[in-house]
Amino acid sequence: MLRAEQLAVYFVMGTVNCQSEQSPLEVLEDALAAGVTIFQLREKGRGALQGEQLELFARQCQELCQRYGVPFIINDNIELAFKLNADGVHVGQDDEPLQLVRNKLPHAIVGVSVHNEEEMKLAVAGGADYVGIGPIFATSSKEDANPPAGVGFLSKIRQSYPDYPIVAIGGITSKDAAAIRLAGADGVAVISELCRSSNRQQTVSLLRGDQL
């Protein structure tokens, strides 16, 4: 069962997103220690791990999340999520239909990416535990990203669904977090902002709104 507050600082990462001196696992543990509230393994793009390498890396990420008591979500890969008994999965509009995901993983947290009102209606009707709205701004972390949805769309969805768990994603920095929360998001999801941060404790604090 997902609580909306668990979406507060949603870290999304794969090995291809980590271009620093730290290894991907070091980046993840640093972010977990800094206070991220949920983690999604999104291993996609050129050079992404596959097969046994992906499974090993996913298990290592899962172990770190369990150590810090943070939900471990897998992007798109339903079979891997089932095999690892992950806490949940996140699917896009081009991935497996929500009902099929629910049938395969009846007890998992299921998140769905939405970009318009019709997709939001279907996600709610299908019983998604939360939705990811975005991209809020232009993003370089996803090659096939949709056009920016903007803060206005987020605000409109919040007005229509006042109690539904919503996380905003796409081009978000710590400077944007306050406005995005005011627009109605329960949390912000970031990739580059944490992967490239030189002070993740401070970055997480700003994303969470501690210094507002």
- Other Cβ atoms within 10 Å of 103 Cβ, number: 10
Q: What is the pLDDT of residues 62-100, one digit of tens each?
A: 999 999 999 999 999 999 999 999 999 999 998 888 989
pTM: 0.94
Domain residue spans of the chain:
4-208
Of 142, 181, 200, 208, the active-site residue reads 142
Of 67, 104, 113, 198, the active-site residue reads 113
Q: In 3-state terms, what secondary structure has residue 55?
A: helix
The residues, any chain, with a CB within 8 Å of residue 53's CB and separated by 6 or more, are none
Instruction: Name the CATH topology of 4-208.
Output: TIM Barrel (3.20.20)
113 catalytic per annotation: yes
Q: In 3-state terms, what secondary structure has residue 131?
A: strand
140 catalytic per annotation: no
The residues, any chain, with a CB within 8 Å of residue 43's CB and separated by 6 or more, are 14, 15, 16, 49, 54, 57, 58, 75, 77
Q: What is the pLDDT of residues 11-50, one digit of tens each?
A: 999 999 997 789 999 999 999 999 999 999 999 999 999 9
121 catalytic per annotation: no
